[in-house]
Chain A
Amino acid sequence: MTIFTPSSSAEILSTTQWAAAEESPLEILGHGSKRGIGRPLQTEHTLDLSKLTGVTLYEPAELVLSARAGTPLAEIEQLLAENGQQFAFEPMDYGPLLGGEPGQGGKNGTIGGVLATNLSGPRRLKAGAARDHILGVAAVSGRGEAFKSGGRVVKNVTGYDLSKLMANSWGTLAVLTDVTFKVLPAAETEVTLAVRGLLDEAAVAAMALALGSSAEVSSAAHLPERIALKVAGGKHGSDAATLLRVEGFGPSVVYRVEALKQLLGKAGPLEEIAGEASKAIWRDIRDCRPFADGGAQPVWRVSMAPSEAHHMVMALRMQAAVDAFYDWQGGLVWLSMREDDPEAELLRRLIRKHGGGHATLVRASAPHRAALPVFEPQPPHLAALSARLKVEFDPKNILNPGRMAPGAGSATLA
């Protein structure tokens, strides 16, 4: 058992070359903040990137930031905040859900991990995920070769976009050494409009109405009754809350919130939540705080068409004991199983029945994670293509082998 802790790209290159030559698998690790997601690994050696740190380029006026892959996300977000900027995709912190604490002394994830797991947050609806903001990468493939892709400019179609291919690859294609992201100005003002007391179906309709208006809603979530009590320390009560976030310059936010009130006045009682109180709500939704109970009951992250997901949840409730809440206008469902059984087959069958999408088992005991496909199984042609891609990057299967699916590749067969 060896833990390599390289502090340069050259050291990562030599470690990977050695591992490829010896066909000796490596677990690729940043802070380990998402180590509990995916199939448990059984590698002899670990490549720990947490010493490969430092912001190497930050030019606020050019909206660009580059950093070594092991740089703590917390450190970068603080630097951005000092300059009135942010990652618009609002990367979530899995710490609370998986048993850690937010921040964790700055150990709540690295910037490389942000890309490798394609993190996003409630603003995904408007601003996309990590994959939409990555501009360039440098990485070492499982072949033991250092390659780069992309650049430092927003508009770039030179060659295949291998930077995006790193998103959501969970360290199975290459070891990231450097990443360059687009950054954006942080909003000057934020206000959340809450419609209270709606059932799921009415909430989804209200959110679709709001998103179809020109109010430029940046986030839309629905917390059913009781779940609402589990955000922002319970200070907004337990009535169901359908939440619409409006961000931007002051006068514009006032105007757009007013427009939303006109639009939704008949839907239910309205509340306005501004500033820090609004931020606290969205932080808790982002981090799946309602299910961060310190337990280990199975939690699923389900992505579907916004208008369809609640139908699936209703059908699921007939057959299994679940708690659920919705982000992304209803298109992202966080599901907590009240029993120990993750109900993987039932859930995935219902997703297919209701227009398709995918489910990831983000919290479960190790035996469940070893026995069940944590990531959504893929149809045969697609799974085979993914497996071929894996071989092209990592022919000896030395990078996080089996993390996404048994054997090589990223997907189990459907």
Chain B
Amino acid sequence: MSGLAMPKPDAETLRRRAEIVADMRIIVPGEGVVDTANEMRAFESDGLTAYRQLPLVVVLPETVAQVSRVLKYCNDRNIRVVPRGSGTSLSGGALPLEDAVLLVMSRFNRILAIDYPNRIVVAQPGVTNLGITNAVEQDGFYYAPDPSSQIACSIGGNVAENSGGVHCLKYGLTANNVLGIEMVLMNGEVMRLGGSHLDQEGYDLLGVMTGSEGLLGVVTEVTVRILKKPETARALLIGFPTSEEGGQCVADIIGAGIIPGGMEMMDRPAIHAAEDFVHAGYPLDVEALLIVELDGPSVEVDHLIGLVEAIAYRNGSSTCRISQSEQERLSFWAGRKAAFPAVGRISPDYYCMDGTIPRKELPRVLAGMRDLSEKYGLGVANVFHAGDGNLHPLILYDANVPGELDKAENFGADILRLCVEVGGVLTGEHGVGVEKRDLMPEMFNQIDLDQQMRVKCAFDPNHLLNPGKVFPQLRRCAELGRMHVHRGQVAFPDIPRF
């Protein structure tokens, strides 16, 4: 990996590896401990495949008690732990460490309860995102957040990453669809946050756990809200001569009070790659292609289709198709859903970015990206969750050409800097992980980062859980806790008072 510094492996832990493996076998008997290099190879990276590292040992617990004992054992002996769900993270959140136990939650794969009157499902964390929908769809229900890895990614991982998907604008992120969790702290303490009621008492620990990238606790059970499937869905496929017109169309749809179930945009390179791959019938003479999906009762969908069509026309759309059948709707999506593999066909490798921007800045950011593309001599294709401003630039490169991975990474970092510059953020849904760790100072100053790390200190004061992720530089909790002001040294504030 290009110049990424991970925490220095602890020599004492490495030296005691055999003993640790033996102790893990006592805590998790049977097939639950994997320690040969060959077998551990399957776990050496996650979805960010540029980075690989074999762990100290892989442990696959089956019970909450085992998770608690593994964590307590490691906490007591100062051994690091990296939690892992399905390993689909695109930011290296589950990248192993040489001296860390890799705690794999995949054997927690059961649905524990389906409760239709309260519209909740209680699942173990290793159940896949789609597995939840599969369990309830025969009764007309589904789980709304739908990251594109939903066939493989686990619900526990979704909590860790606060996963999104194409339906976030209308239905929210993971954080808005999880009612409760059970989790284990690094010291082995098991606790419940929330439950089957709608709001949590006390501090919103559930809110801070969601999206904490496996640094605060290990999730052992998840309670999610399920929704009744919309009666119907239809989509419009709208082409524009410029991205400005496409962007304005999106703004006007929302300005008209319409929140579509999904609203996706692709730029010219992405349109062409997708069309070449799946022949979805996309227009090739447009700069921006917008898919607007409306869901709900047919009477509502039909009504809104008319409104959106008119808005598109007013904004200079050059083509506008409206799905007349479920098959046609799916064909509109086929190209978008295949965009990543389609780009994979035209380039040996691609690097997927994940910034979010205020939507109105789209033309400026696209123009900036074209300039950067020229500067680095690498192509870029864009797919864009247009409703919520989440941009996925795909940088095209060839890992076999020396220096191109570095170039792609630098290009990506510049794109993210541009996102922050226009009022956006480094990551919309893929997480910071190791990938964007060193860019955190672009968005946060040291005080901001220190306060985030202090939250970490309340959960894991020894920085043993998933270290080396999210924070560019770890500071010891004792040092972070120190206060540097003393009585009499700060003047009585000179502000209005009564």
| A interface, CB within 8 angstroms of B | 2-7, 11, 14-15, 17-18, 20-23, 51, 59-64, 84, 118, 120, 124-125, 128-129, 131-132, 141, 143-149, 151-162, 164-165, 167-169, 173, 184-186, 188, 205, 208, 211-214, 216, 248-249, 251-252, 254-256, 259, 303-307, 328, 331-332, 355-358, 360, 375-376, 378-379, 381-382, 385-386, 388-389, 391-393, 395-396, 404, 410-411
Contact = CB atoms under 8 A, between A and B. Distances in A.
Nearest to A301: B199
A160 to B, nearest CB: 5
B454 interface: yes
A151 B424 contact: yes
B478 interface: no
B360 to A, nearest CB: 6
B426 interface: yes
A48 to B, nearest CB: 8
Given A303-B198, A392-B455, A411-B202, 9 more contacts: A17-B490, A18-B493, A62-B389, A63-B254, A159-B452, A173-B203, A305-B115, A375-B202, A395-B481
Contact of A360 (B189, B201, B303, B448): B201
Interface string B422-450: 01111111111000100010011001111
Contacts of B231: 214
Given A23-B487, A155-B429, A386 B172 contact: no
Contact of B208 (A7, A120, A161, A379): A161
A169 to B, nearest CB: 6
A249 B304 contact: yes
Interface stretch (B24-32, B293-301, B402-410): B293-301
B497 interface: yes
A344 B390 CA distance: 47
B490 A21 contact: yes
A160 B212 contact: yes
Which of B258, B424, B449 is most buried by chain A, counting CB atoms within 10 A of its CB?
A: B424
Given A11-B493, A164-B207, A404-B202, A155 B173 contact: yes
Interface in B127-168: 140, 161-162, 164, 168
Nearest to B258: A185
Interface string B101-143: 0000000000000011111100000000000000000001000
Q: Among B200, B444, B493, find the residue whose CB has the most chain A CB atoms closer than 10 A.
A: B493
B300 A252 contact: yes
Given A3-B498, A214-B231, A357-B195, A21 B488 contact: yes
Interface string B30-45: 0000000000000000
B358 A251 contact: no
Interface of B: 115-120, 140, 161-162, 164, 168-169, 172-173, 175-176, 185, 189-193, 195-205, 207-208, 210-212, 228-231, 251-252, 254-255, 257-259, 296-297, 299-300, 303-304, 356-360, 385, 388-390, 423-432, 436, 440, 443-444, 447-452, 454-459, 470, 481, 483, 485-498
A335 B257 CA distance: 37
B358 A17 contact: no
Given A5-B495, A155-B385, A214 B358 contact: no
A157 B211 contact: yes
Nearest to A150: B425
Contacts of B425: 151, 153, 156, 158
22 contacts: A5-B498, A15-B493, A17-B490, A17-B493, A23-B487, A61-B251, A124-B199, A129-B198, A131-B204, A147-B450, A147-B451, A148-B448, A153-B424, A153-B425, A249-B300, A251-B303, A305-B197, A356-B195, A381-B191, A382-B191, A385-B185, A389-B458
A147 B447 contact: yes
A38 to B, nearest CB: 12
B191 A153 contact: no
B360 A62 contact: yes
Contact of B432 (A3, A84, A157, A211): A157
A328 B119 CA distance: 12
A255 B203 contact: no
Q: Is the interface of B mostly helix, strand, loop or mixed?
A: loop
A51 B495 CA distance: 12
B455 A307 contact: no
A214 B481 contact: no
A160 B455 contact: yes
A62 B359 contact: yes
Contacts, number: 319
A173 B211 CA distance: 20
A59 B433 CA distance: 31
Contacts of A212: 116-117, 119, 228
Contact of A62 (B202, B252, B358): B358
A220 to B, nearest CB: 12
Nearest to A11: B495
A50 to B, nearest CB: 12
B154 to A, nearest CB: 17
Given A17-B490, A155-B164, A212-B119, A2 B497 contact: yes
B356 A156 contact: yes
A255 B299 contact: yes
Contacts of B430: 157
A18 B360 contact: no
Contact of A153 (B228, B254, B357): B357
A177 B362 CA distance: 29
B431 A303 contact: no
Contact of A161 (B211, B458, B470, B490): B211
A94 B389 CA distance: 35
A208 B490 contact: no
B162 A118 contact: no
A307 to B, nearest CB: 4
A266 B436 CA distance: 58
A134 to B, nearest CB: 9
B191 A392 contact: no
A307 B196 CA distance: 10
B428 A168 contact: no
Q: Which 4 A-B pairs have the closest CB atoms?
A: A164-B207, A252-B300, A185-B257, A155-B428
A171 to B, nearest CB: 12
Contact of B198 (A84, A125, A157, A411): A125
A161 B451 CA distance: 11
Contacts of A307: 115, 117-118
Contacts of B162: 157, 161
Contacts of B493: 4, 6, 11, 14-15, 17-18
A331 to B, nearest CB: 6
B197 A303 contact: yes
A180 B280 CA distance: 40
Contacts of A155: 164, 168, 173, 356, 385, 388-390, 428-429
Contacts of A118: 199, 204
A205 B117 CA distance: 8
A395 B424 contact: no
A24 B106 CA distance: 50
Nearest to B391: A155
A255 B299 CA distance: 7
Q: Which of B191, B210, B297, B494 neighbours the largest number of chain A CB atoms within 10 Å of its CB?
A: B297
Contact of B458 (A7, A61, A392): A392
Contacts of A386: 202-203, 205
A158 B228 contact: no
B84 to A, nearest CB: 18
A20 B485 contact: yes
A252 B231 CA distance: 12
A124 B205 contact: no
A60 B359 CA distance: 12
Nearest to A64: B358
A158 B427 contact: yes
